[in-house]
């Protein structure tokens, strides 16, 4: 077997990996990217968890289910008569698969355009060699590759409940939850994080009776308390049942479903029978088959690859980015790290500001935030001032028929520099970009308040929240 040499080998073609490979190629390096994902018919499927069983397919289902709910609940308000509605789940899943395929093919096109050599197979370290490292690619066409530099971008895997493995039929990870063949009558979700809330929302809209069991005593503790409270109120109104402070004692499965025995927040024993159970209790770094020990790459107690602030591992010449290292498991965080590492390898000064990474939950209402929460600032003893403005008082939101939620801006009490922006409401995922931009340039609340925002737009709520920081909102 001949060995092919490259300036850089990227292991993993998820958001961190494929973006790193493209940026490195733009900077003049010879680049290979290795990824093991395949479609059901055996074709390469670059894009990682995000494209194949995460961000992209979940958003496709969220969109389909939102259309269905709008038709059922809200079209009549607009004078639209639809007659009897039905949901073709098979067609919805087929559309989702087509969206995923388009993204897979888009990445392959970008590799070709940027002259990145792509290898479909599982990459494993074999040894360090003179001037670099040897990588074995096992797959339909085994290859031996050598790279002067290596970027590990192998992502993460869903965490299972102890003693309750995923069978992707009754007990589902995000993978199985995206492929339920028909709407379950009763759906259980363990974990009220991003995956649990988004996928629970999909199937609730389509008619499932959904119960979410969360171990934490507070709902969305990472979000600002005002935002979490508003979101919880909206989910309760929709009929998404969320039980907090529970302790799951036992899960029994059968061919027809699962029974969860748990203790509720009051210490009372409870039992929940469901047709399907989604387990979304977090994710773990994925290094299976990588064999990092072959070259001395160090892992921490969680199984994550140990890196410094610039994503260097314990071995010079080997880097790691994304879910497989410390920090939030977010696709856009992985992308930023991938670009930064490619630029560092090229001798440039790559940049990732962890303080301005946005968080988004694509439920209805959407939830997003960037920077510090009010409770964090209180705990840190930082003097601050805050202002909020409701979508209820916004003309565009009224026209859309979606007035749930608010924008909250927190600024330094003395300098007025924005410390955090928190949104729950329509298009929060898009509105947060203005806040990220403002914080990256260290803008003050006054800066946003003084910027002309188009009327009528949802972005005016951000402007009004900035005005409210100084207690001078104009429309509420």
The SS3 of residue 424 is strand
Residue 215: per-residue pLDDT:
97
Residue 303 and residue 338 in one domain: yes
| Whether 262 and 320 share a structural domain | no
Residues in the chain: 476
**Residue 110 sits in which domain range?**
4-155+286-346
**Whether 74 is catalytic:** no
Do 59 and 130 fall within a single domain?
yes
| Same domain assignment for residues 50 and 134 | yes
> What is the tally of structural domains in the chain?
3
CB 391 within 8 Å of CB 404? yes
Residue 89 lies in a domain: yes
Same domain as 180, residue 37: no
Given a cut of 60, whether residue 1 has pLDDT beyond it is no
Task: Please tell me whether residues 250 and 341 are part of one structural domain.
Answer: no
Whichever domain contains 459, its CATH number is 3.30.390.30
Same domain? 71 vs 151: yes
* 198 and 78 belong to one structural domain: no
352 found inside a domain: no
Would you state the pLDDT for residue 141?
A: 85
Identify whether 44 is part of a domain: yes
In a domain, 213, yes or no: yes
Question: 203 with 234, same domain?
Answer: yes
Confidence of residue 2 (pLDDT cuts 50, 70, 90): low
User: Where residue 202 falls among pLDDT bands split at 50, 70, 90?
Assistant: very high
> Catalytic pick from 67, 74, 351, 455?
455
pLDDT value of position 104 = 98
Residue 243 domain flag: yes
Report residue 443's pLDDT band, with 50, 70 and 90 as the boundaries.
very high
Could you give the percent of the chain with pLDDT greater than 90? 98
- Strand ranges (DSSP E) for 143-203? 143-152, 156-158, 171-172, 186-190
Residue 330 counted as an annotated binding residue: yes
**Which region among 119-128, 134-143, 179-188, 231-240 has the lowest average model confidence (pLDDT)?**
134-143
Predicted TM-score of the model (pTM): 0.96
For residue 359, what are the contacts with CB-CB under 8 A and spacing of at least 6? 222, 223, 328, 330, 368, 369, 370
Inside any domain, residue 351: no
Q: Is 59 annotated as a binding residue?
A: yes
**CATH number of 41's domain:** 3.50.50.60
pLDDT band at residue 40 using 50, 70 and 90 as cut-offs: confident
Q: Are 274 and 292 in a shared domain?
A: no
In this prediction, residue 63 carries a pLDDT of 98
- Answer whether residue 388 shows pLDDT above 80: yes
Answer with the one of 234, 253, 281 that is the final residue of a domain. 281
- 475 lies in a domain? no
Residues 228 and 362 in one domain: no
**Where are the extended beta strands (E) located within 293-383?**
318-320, 359-361, 366-371
CA 232/CA 221 separation, integer angstroms? 12
Could you tell me the CA-to-CA distances from 167 to 58, 173, 197, 255 in Å, in that order? 19, 9, 21, 11
Per-residue pLDDT at 140 exceeds 90: no
331 is in an annotated binding site: yes
Closest to 33 (Cα-Cα) out of 43, 41, 42, 22: 22
Assess whether 75 and 221 both reside in one domain.
no
Q: Among residues 260, 281, 302, which one ends one of the domains?
A: 281
Q: What is the mean pLDDT of residues 141-152?
A: 96
Q: What is the pLDDT of residues 267-287, one digit of tens each?
A: 999 999 999 999 999 999 999
**Would you say 92 is a known binding-site residue?**
no
């Amino acid at each position: 077997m001949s060995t092919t040499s490259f300036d850089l080998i990227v292991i993993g073609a998820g958001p961190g990996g494929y973006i790193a490979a493209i940026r490195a190629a733009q900077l003049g390096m010879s680049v290979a990217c290795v990824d093991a994902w395949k479609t059901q018919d055996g074709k390469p499927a670059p894009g990682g968890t995000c494209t194949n069983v995460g961000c992209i397919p979940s958003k496709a289902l969220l969109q389909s289910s939102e259309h269905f709910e709008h038709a059922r609940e809200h079209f009549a308000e607009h004078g639209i008569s639809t007659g009897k509605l039905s949901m073709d789940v098979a067609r919805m899943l087929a559309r989702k698969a087509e969206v995923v395929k388009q993204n897979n093919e888009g990445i392959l096109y970008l590799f070709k355009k940027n002259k990145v050599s792509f290898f479909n197979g599982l990459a494993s370290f074999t040894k360090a060699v003179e001037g670099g490292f040897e990588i074995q690619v096992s797959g339909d066409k085994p290859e031996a590759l050598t790279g002067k530099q290596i970027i590990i971008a192998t992502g993460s895997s869903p965490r299972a409940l102890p003693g309750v493995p995923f069978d992707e039929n009754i007990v589902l990870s995000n993978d199985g939850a995206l492929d339920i063949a028909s709407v379950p009558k009763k759906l259980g979700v363990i974990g009220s994080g991003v995956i649990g809330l988004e996928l629970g929302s999909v199937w609730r809209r389509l008619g499932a009776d959904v119960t979410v069991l969360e171990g934490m005593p507070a709902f969305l503790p990472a979000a600002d308390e005002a935002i979490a409270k508003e979101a919880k109120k909206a989910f309760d109104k929709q009929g998404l049942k969320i039980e907090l402070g529970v302790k799951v004692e036992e899960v029994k499965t059968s061919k027809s479903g699962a029974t969860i025995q748990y203790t509720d927040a009051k210490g009372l024993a409870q039992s929940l029978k469901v047709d399907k159970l989604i387990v979304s209790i977090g994710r773990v770094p994925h290094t299976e088959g990588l064999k990092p020990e072959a070259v001395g790459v160090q892992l921490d107690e969680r199984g994550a690859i140990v890196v410094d602030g610039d994503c260097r591992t314990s071995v010079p010449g080997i880097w790691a980015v994304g879910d497989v290292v410390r920090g939030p498991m977010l696709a856009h965080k992985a992308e930023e790290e991938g670009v930064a590492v490619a630029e560092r390898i090229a001798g440039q000064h790559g940049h990732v500001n962890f303080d301005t990474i946005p968080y988004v939950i694509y439920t209805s209402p959407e939830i997003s935030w960037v920077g510090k929460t009010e409770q964090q600032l209180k705990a840190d003893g930082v003097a601050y001032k805050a202002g909020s403005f409701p979508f209820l008082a916004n003309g565009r939101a009224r026209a859309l028929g979606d007035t749930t939620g608010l924008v909250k801006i927190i600024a330094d009490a003395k300098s007025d520099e924005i410390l955090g922006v928190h949104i729950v409401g329509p298009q929060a995922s898009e509105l947060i970009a203005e806040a990220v931009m403002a914080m990256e340039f260290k803008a003050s609340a006054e800066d946003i308040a003084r910027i002309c925002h188009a009327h009528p737009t949802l972005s005016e709520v951000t402007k009004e929240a900035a005005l409210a920081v100084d207690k001078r909102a104009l429309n509420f």
